[in-house]
Amino acid sequence: MAILETFLPHGRLRDGNLALRILATNPPDPDKNYVATYRFGMFLDGRRRAVGGIELRLGDQQDLTRFAGQVGYAVHSDHQGQGLAGRSLRLLLPLARKHGFQELWITCDPDNLASRRSCERAGAVLQEIVDLPETHEMYARGSRQKCRYRIELRNVPASLAPVCSLSQSQVRRFRLR
C-alpha cells in the first residue's frame, strides 16, 4: 500500500495529561528532498507552552527510513525523563496507519540512550545500527551512526485516528514487541 501524502483529519491526540496539538503541516519540497510533514507540539495539562514536539514524515524514501527516520521528536530539558516522547510516538501510530504505513522507522544516535528508551517504550524494536555515509548532511553535523528502530503497524487500527483519545491501557494494547 502506498503512503498517502495528503494531510488528513487527525482528531484528538491525548494520553492522560499529554495532548498533541498540530503546529504545522508542511507540504513536500522536492527541491530540498523534504516530504510532507505533520508537526505537533506536546502539551501538558495546565501548560500554555509546548514541552516538546514530534513530527510524522509522510514518505518511505531510503534516506528517510535508513537515516533520518519517519518520526522525529524532542522534549525540552526540564521535561525529559517523563516518558513524553514515547507516549507521543504511540499517539501518532493510528494516524500513521491511516496514511497507509505498515511500519514506521525511527532513528537516533547510538549514544542517545533516552531516545532509544523512548523508541522501545513505544514498541519499536532495534533492527540494526548503520554507518552514515561521509557525504550525508548528518555526518557533516557530527553523527557517524544511526540506530534503526521499527514499529509494526499491522495491528494498529487506522480507525482510531479521528477520535484518538486513548487511555494508558488502550495504548498498551497496541504496543507490539
In a domain, 3, yes or no: no
In a domain, 5, yes or no: no
For residue 4, name the pLDDT band (cuts at 50, 70, 90): confident
In a domain, 4, yes or no: no
pLDDT of residue 96: 96
**Average pLDDT in the chain:** 89
What are 25-68's pLDDT values in tens digits?
999 999 988 999 999 999 999 999 999 999 999 999 999 999 99
pLDDT of residue 22: 96
Residue 24: CB atoms within 10 Å: 11
- Gap between the Cα atoms of 151 and 168, Å rounded: 18
Number of domains in the chain: 1
In a domain, 8, yes or no: no
What are 95-116's pLDDT values in tens digits?
999 999 999 999 999 999 999 9
- Give the residue numbers spanning the domain of 98: 13-173
Neighbour-count burial for 69-84, b at 16+ CB within 10 Å, e otherwise: bbbbbebeeeeeeebb
Q: Using only C-alpha atoms, what is the Rg of the chain?
A: 15
The pTM of the full predicted model, rounded to 2 decimals, is: 0.86
In a domain, 2, yes or no: no
pLDDT of residue 1: 53
Alpha-carbon 127 to chain mean position: 16
In a domain, 84, yes or no: yes
Question: By the 8 A CB rule, do 122 and 114 touch?
Answer: no
pLDDT of residue 115: 97
The CATH number linked to 169 is 3.40.630.30
- Which grid cell is 5? 501524502
In a domain, 163, yes or no: yes
In a domain, 37, yes or no: yes
What are the strands of the beta sheet with 52-58, ordered from one edge? 125-131, 145-152, 103-108, 71-75, 52-58, 36-44, 18-26, 13-15, 165-166
